[in-house]
Structure 1
Amino acid sequence: MSDIIEQPRYGCALSAQQTVLAIPRALPIVHAGPGCASKSFAFAATGAGFQGEGYGGGSHISSTNTGESEVIFGGETSLAKEIKGALQILDGDLFVVLSGCTSDIVGDDSIAVAERFAAQGYPVVGTETAGFKGSSYYGHEIVIKSIIEQFIGSVEPKVQRGLVNVFAVVPFQDPFWRGDLEEIKRVLTGIGLEVNILFGNGSAGISEWANIPNAQFNLLISPSTGIDIVKLLQEKYDTPYLQYPLLPVGAKETSQFLRDVSVFAGLSPIRTERFIKEEEKRFYDYFISVSDFIGEYWNNLPVDFYTVGDSIYAPGISAFLVDELGLTPKKIYLTDELKPEWQQIITESLSARDRKLVTALTFENDGGRIEADIRQSADKAKRSIILGSSWEKFLALDIGSLYAYLSLPLDETVILNDTYTGYNGGLHLMSEIYSAVFKRKTATSRSIF
C-alpha cells in the first residue's frame, strides 16, 4: 500500500477486528488511537450493507484510545489494564488483541502483553495489525494464524473422517459473507461432509475452532487470501488441503466444485451425484421460469458486463455470467493487491472456463482509474451492466448503464443473508441482474433500448 489510490475497496489491517467479530462470542480488544476501531467498523460493517454491530461490535469494541502519554511513555500498561477490564466485564469465549499504528510505531509488544494473560489461563490472543503493515486481507490472515498458533496451539490431531475446515470469503470485506458461508456449508453437508465453517451463524464458535486440528482436510475456496493459512495447518497438524480457486456460482460451477471436493474427500459418488441432480433440477426449474420475462424484455437486457470486486469474488461471478447467462465480459477489475503467483492462479482458472474471461481481466485497485477506463467506453455501455460498489452505481447512472451491487463500499442497500454463491446464490444473482432493468426509467415491455 505504498501508492496513493482513489476510491479504495478495503480497509487497513486493523479492519481484521471484523474477522474476530465474525466468530460467535469472540471479542476484539483494540490497542490504537481514538477513532480507529469505529472507523474500521463504519467501513467494513455499516459500509458493507449496514450489517450491524452484532454481538460486540460497533461502539462496544474495547479500545485503549492511546494518546500522548502512551506515545511518550509506552502503552503496554494501558493495554494490560484494558484487557483486565474486558475480561472482568465482557462475556466472551475468546479475546483477540489487535494493535494499531500508534502502538506499533512506539514499539509496544501487544503480543507479549496478551501472552501474560494467556499464561494465566485466559482465552486471550495477541496480534500486530498496524494499518501500515497491510490491508484488511492481510489482517484477516494474521488474526486466523494467531488464533491457530496461540489459542489452538500444538495439539495431537484426532482425525475425524469427513470433517472439513472451510476457508473462503473474508467476513465483512465480502458484504455477502454470511449468506455465502451458509450456502457453502449447505452444499458440502449435502454431499456428506461435516463442516467447520468457522464464521457466522452457521459456526459453533470457539468449540469449532478448537476442532480445527481434527479435520480430514482443509478446503480453501480462494485464489489468494488464505493460502498461508492452509499451509500453516498442513505444517502444524499434517492436514492436507484442497484449493478451489474459483468461488462456485450457479449450477455448472457448483456441481463441478462438489465433484472435485467429493473425489478429494473420498466420498460416495452416488450420494454426491444424487444431491447434484436434485439441486440442478431445482436450479434450472427456476432458470426456465424467467424465460417469459427474457422474451418480453429482451431489448432492455444487458449483453455485456463489467465486474469490480476482489479476487475471491469477482472471477467466480464473471464465470457464471459468461457460462450460464451468456453475457460478454467487457472488463473484470480485481481490486485487491495480488502477488504474481496469485495472478497466475486466477488467469489459469479463468482460462479453463473461457478465454474471453482472461482477455477482460485487469488487476487494478485504483477506483479512479477503473472509472476512467469504463468511461472511455461509455458510448458503448448502453447494453452493459456494471457489478460493483456504490461508486459504480453513480457511474452507471451517469453513463446510462445498468448496475447491481457486488463489492464494498455499499451504503445504499441492506444485506442480511443474501448470497451469490452456490446454487441459491446463482439464482439470487440472476434475479438481481434482471431486476436491474427496472432501475432504468425507460424499461418497458418490448421497448427499443
Structure 2
Amino acid sequence: MISINPDGLVGSILAVEGMNDATIILNGPGGCRNYHSFLSGIYNPRPESRDSVDRSEYFFFGQHRVPCTYLDEEDYIHGSVEKVEDILPIVIEKRNAMIVIINSPGASLIGDDLDGIIKRGDHSDKALVIEEATLSTAASQGYDYAIKSMIDWLNPQEIKKEPNSINLLGISIYDNDWKHAKEDLQHLLNLMGFTVLSTPGAGCTVEELRNSAKAEFNVIVRPEYAIDTARLYEEKYNIPSIICNYGAPIGFEATKEWISTISAKTGADPSRAFEFVEKYQRKAVSLLREFQNHTTLPKGTTFGIRADSSIALALSKWLIDYLGMAPVAIDISPGEYVPHLNSLKMLLNNNGFSDVLLKSLNVERPDIVFADGHTAMMMERAGACHIGVNISPPSLERFNFIPRPIFGPQGSMYLLDEIINGF
C-alpha cells in the first residue's frame, strides 16, 4: 500500500493559505499549482474569494486560490521577472493583507531577484519572498519556516505584553477537522483564564499575527510544526514556549497532561479545564461499559499508526494504557520531533513492543489502522485492516457536520466512536 507524504512546499503554501487574509503566489508552471489550489480551497475555504475573482482572469485561470505565474520554457531561459511584475498588482488589488511569493522547485533554479522586483514595484509593505527551497523538507518543516518568515517580515515593534495571553502554535489547516480542534483547545485555554491572541496558519489574520508578539506564552500543540517559530518568538520577543512531554493532546489523559503542563509553567488554575475534559471522559466510560457488557473489545486488538511523532506518542500511549490495545506497526512521518520520538521508543520498550517502531503498515495486518484518510480507506477496502481511522488529510471527507478532530476531548470522542462502531 503506497502512501505519499506531503513535502515542505505543500507545508509552506498551506501555512500561508491558512491565514485568512494572506495569499501565496506560486512562481512556477501551472502543473505545480493545481493540487495546492485544490487543497487550499478544501481546508480553508474563503467564500468571499469565489465572488471577488473572475475565474477567467489571467494568473487565476479558473481557480480562485494560489495564483500562479505559469512559467513556460521561454521563462526558464530568459527569466520570470516580467510575469512576476505583472502578477503582483493583480493580486494586490484583491486587498489581501499579505502576499507571499514562493518559487516552484524548477523556478528556484532561475535565480531571479524576486526581492528586487518587489522593491522596484513599491510593494515592500505588502509582499515578501520565501527564498529557501522547502521541497526536500518535511511538510511540517515547510509550514514552520513559512510562519517564521511571515512573523520575521512583519517585525512588530515596541511590544507591550498583554496579561494572560497565549499564542496557540503548531496547529494547521492540514490537521483533521482543524476548526473544531482549534475551538476545543481555545476553550480549554479560556477556562484557564487565558486569551488566545493568534493561531498562526490556522484561521489567523495578519493583524492577529502582528499582535502575537504581545503574548506572554506560546503553547505548542505539535512541535514539528512550530519549533523554529517558537525559537524566533523566544529570541526576539522573549516569549517562552510550552511543550507537553506527552505529545499532542490526544486522548483524555494526554489532554489533561497538556493542561497540567500549561498550569505548571504559567501558574494558571487548571480546575475548570479539567472539569470540562472529565465531563467527556465520564460519558466515554459509561458508553464503553455498555459496549463491554457483551465483549472484551477493544482490549487485545492490534493497531498500526502512520503519523507525526507527537501524534504517534500520545495516541500510542492512550491506546495501550487506556484501551489495552497492542501496536504492531508505527510508521513516523518525516520531520520528527526527537524528544517525542525518544519518549515513544521508551513507551514501546517498557511495554514489550520494541520491534514495532518505524515498521511499515504494509508489513503487518493490524486490526485497526490510524493514518491519513486515503491510507486508512485503501487499507480497509483492501482487507489489510478491519477498521481504518482517518486522523489526518489527505482525505475524501470534505465537510464535517459533526466534530471530527483528533485533539482535545472532542477528539477523544471521535476516535472512540470510530474504534467502537467499527467492530
Do both proteins adopt the same fold according to a TM-score greater than 0.5, normalized to the shorter chain? yes
Write out aligned runs for 1:123-142 (5 A): 123-128=126-131, 130=133, 132-142=135-145
Conserved in 2, the CA contact under 8 Å of 1:100 and 1:129? no
Which residue of 2 is the match for residue 367 of structure 1? none
SS in 2 for 1:165: strand
Distance 1:250 1:26 in 2: 33
Which residue of 2 is the match for residue 293 of structure 1? 291
Distance 2:129 2:35 in 1: 21
Distance 2:343 2:18 in 1: 32
Which residue of 1 is the match for residue 59 of structure 2? none
Q: What displacement does 1:277 show?
A: 2.6
Structure 1 length as normaliser, TM-score? 0.81
313, 325, 330: which one aligns with 1:327? 325
Q: What displacement does 1:257 show?
A: 1.1
SS in 2 for 1:178: helix
Which residue of 1 is the match for residue 158 of structure 2? 156
Distance 2:315 2:363 in 1: 20
Question: Bigger CA drift: 67-76 or 220-229?
Answer: 220-229
Which residue of 2 is the match for residue 446 of structure 1? none
Q: CA 1:34/1:275 → structure 2, altered by over 3 Å: closer, same or farther?
A: closer
Q: What displacement does 1:144 show?
A: 0.7
Write out aligned runs for 1:127-276 (5 A): 127-128=130-131, 130=133, 132-151=135-154, 153=155, 155-172=157-174, 174-199=175-200, 203=204, 205-245=205-245, 246-267=247-268, 269=269, 272-276=270-274
1:32 equivalent in alignment to 2:38: no
1:396 equivalent in alignment to 2:400: no
SS in 2 for 1:164: strand
Conserved in 1, the CA contact under 8 Å of 2:255 and 2:408? yes
Distance 1:72 1:335 in 2: 37
Conserved in 2, the CA contact under 8 Å of 1:99 and 1:110? no
SS in 2 for 1:19: helix
Which residue of 1 is the match for residue 370 of structure 2? 387
Conserved in 2, the CA contact under 8 Å of 1:183 and 1:419? no
SS in 1 for 2:315: helix
Q: Which amino acid letter does the alignment assign opposite residue 16 of structure 2?
A: V
Q: CA 1:418/1:123 → structure 2, altered by over 3 Å: closer, same or farther?
A: farther
Q: How many residues align?
A: 406
1:96-139 per-position Cα deviation (integer Å, ceiling 9, x unaligned): 2122122211112334434555x656322221364644232232
1:71 equivalent in alignment to 2:61: no
Question: Bigger CA drift: 31-40 or 312-321?
Answer: 312-321
Conserved in 1, the CA contact under 8 Å of 2:302 and 2:327? yes
Q: What displacement does 1:400 show?
A: 5.1
Q: Which amino acid letter does the alignment assign opposite residue 144 of structure 1?
A: I
Q: CA 1:197/1:418 → structure 2, altered by over 3 Å: closer, same or farther?
A: farther
Q: Which structure is higher in RCO with an 8 Å CA cutoff and minimum separation 6?
A: 1
Q: Which amino acid letter does the alignment assign opposite residue 244 of structure 1?
A: C
Conserved in 2, the CA contact under 8 Å of 1:181 and 1:197? no
93, 97, 104: which one aligns with 1:100? 104
Q: CA 1:169/1:198 → structure 2, altered by over 3 Å: closer, same or farther?
A: closer
Q: What displacement does 1:85 show?
A: 1.2
SS in 2 for 1:175: coil
SS in 2 for 1:359: coil
Which residue of 2 is the match for residue 281 of structure 1? 279
319, 332, 351: which one aligns with 2:346? 351
Distance 1:331 1:104 in 2: 38
Please list every run of 5 or more consecutive structure 1 residues that lacks an aligned counterpart in the other structure: 365-369, 438-449
Which residue of 1 is the match for residue 363 of structure 2? 373
1:146-192 per-position Cα deviation (integer Å, ceiling 9, x unaligned): 111112x15122111211111123322x2332222222211111111
Q: What displacement does 1:214 show?
A: 0.8
Conserved in 1, the CA contact under 8 Å of 2:219 and 2:241? yes
Q: What displacement does 1:195 show?
A: 0.8
Which residue of 2 is the match for residue 20 of structure 1? 16
399, 402, 406: which one aligns with 1:420? 406
Q: Which amino acid letter does the alignment assign opposite residue 122 of structure 1?
A: D
Conserved in 2, the CA contact under 8 Å of 1:9 and 1:409? no
Please report the RMSD computed on the Cα atoms of aligned residues, expressed in angstroms: 2.9
Distance 1:361 1:400 in 2: 16
Conserved in 1, the CA contact under 8 Å of 2:28 and 2:70? yes
Q: CA 1:251/1:371 → structure 2, altered by over 3 Å: closer, same or farther?
A: closer
1:54 equivalent in alignment to 2:8: no
Distance 1:434 1:213 in 2: 43
Q: What displacement does 1:278 show?
A: 4.1
Which residue of 1 is the match for residue 54 of structure 2? none
Distance 1:59 1:314 in 2: 35
Distance 2:18 2:368 in 1: 31
Distance 2:157 2:338 in 1: 35
Distance 2:211 2:24 in 1: 21
Which residue of 2 is the match for residue 317 of structure 1? 315
Q: What displacement does 1:279 show?
A: 2.9
